[in-house]
Structure 1
Amino acid sequence: MIAYLKVFIFSMLPIFELRGAIPYGLKIGLPFWQVLLIAVIGNLIPVIFILLIGRFIGSHIFPKWLWQRTQNKHENKFLKWGDFALISFVAIPLPFTGAWTGALAALIFRVKFWRALGLISIGVIISGIIVSIISLGIFSL
């Protein structure tokens, strides 16, 4: 039970997210589907809070000029690629991408809550599958 809780908590942490939680869970011998499900759910919980609270405190945490500069610099790309931009940004398991930064991007580009949560969820599931495939391949060598 503690092992599942560790996977859940690890998947909630920024940077670590499910990219670290899934390999950890598989390495200690937990079943694949359970690890994937727990890591995805754990990774999405902070997103809900970021999207809800971020709209109110985002302008107080980040300087307005930085917020505006980021918006102006990337808005055309975001509008061009639309939903695919947010999904792929979250789905690609690289440093500084993932659910946390995807939620921040959704806030910057004013994506509505339910739409952002849906798109980020799709990205997290894709990322979880990619990380699982890579982890299962590495551990079976």
Structure 2
Amino acid sequence: MFKHCVIVFLVSMVPLIELRGAIPYGVVYDLPLWLTYIIAIAGNILPVPIIYLFARRVLLWGKDKKLIGRFFTFCLEKGEKAGRKLQAKAGRGLYWALLLFVGIPLPGTGAWTGTLAASLLDMDFKKSVLACMGGVLLAGAIMGALSLLGVSVFGG
């Protein structure tokens, strides 16, 4: 059981997969949903302040490097594009839009992309982190419900 808890924690920290993959993993391996939820939330929230404070600096530093430049440029462009799109649609409700962007578990959304977008847009640190954390809680609840539904529907 401990091994699966560690895997849930680590998977929830992986960009693009995050808790969208971690919660179903925990449910499939018969971890209690409440435990899976708590572990996945902790793992997904942990990188948020670090991403906000350091991701832009690291990506800007690495975009001109030979081996990592293309990937870092891709990440910068994805974050900037997501940020501009979010800002254009949200207007004054930008932080609520950020919460929903992170909270609705679709491909390309999540804590990593949302936090990077907030950082690239120079949004307020505290409000951005709180919006991303709220989004992670929402995404966790949605994935928990979908995982339970999937397990009961497919007999797992």
- When the two structures are superposed, what TM-score results if normalisation uses the length of structure 2? 0.79
The answer to whether the aligner puts 1:122 opposite 2:134 as a matched pair is yes
Poorly superposed stretches of 4+, deviation over 2 Å: 54-63, 69-81
Provide closer, same or farther for how the CA distance between residues 43 and 72 of structure 1 changes in structure 2, counting only shifts above 3 A: closer
2:145 corresponding residue in structure 1: 133
* Distance 1:90-1:73 versus aligned 2 partners, 3 A rule: closer
Residue 16 of structure 1 deviates from its aligned partner by 1.1
Give structure 1 stretches of 5+ with no counterpart: none
Deviates more, 1:53-62 or 1:128-137: 53-62
Identity of aligned residues (%): 38
Q: 1:105 aligns with which of 117, 121, 130?
A: 117
Residue type at the aligned position of 1:54: A
Equivalent position SS for 2:46: helix
RMSD over equivalenced CA pairs, Å: 2.3
Q: Secondary structure at the match of 2:12?
A: helix
Relative to structure 1, the CA distance from residue 136 to residue 54 in structure 2 (aligned partners, 3 Å threshold; closer, same or farther) is same
Instruction: State the AA in 1 paired with 2:98.
Output: L
Q: How many residues are treated as equivalent by the alignment?
A: 139
Q: Choose 10-19 or 47-56, whichever is displaced more.
A: 47-56
Question: Which secondary structure does the structure 2 equivalent of 1:14 belong to?
Answer: coil
1:31 to partner: Cα distance = 0.6
Change (3 A) 1:97 1:73: closer
- Relative distance call for 1:137 and 1:71 in structure 2 (3 A) is closer
| Aligned amino acid, residue 7 of structure 1 | V
Q: Deviations over 1:22-53 (max 9, x none)?
A: 00001100011110010011001121211111
Kept after mapping to 1: 8 A contact 2:83/2:118: no
Q: Post-superposition shift, 1:9?
A: 0.3
Runs (5+) with no aligned partner, structure 2:
64-71
Distance 2:119 2:131 in 1: 13
Q: Does 1:20 align with 2:21?
A: yes
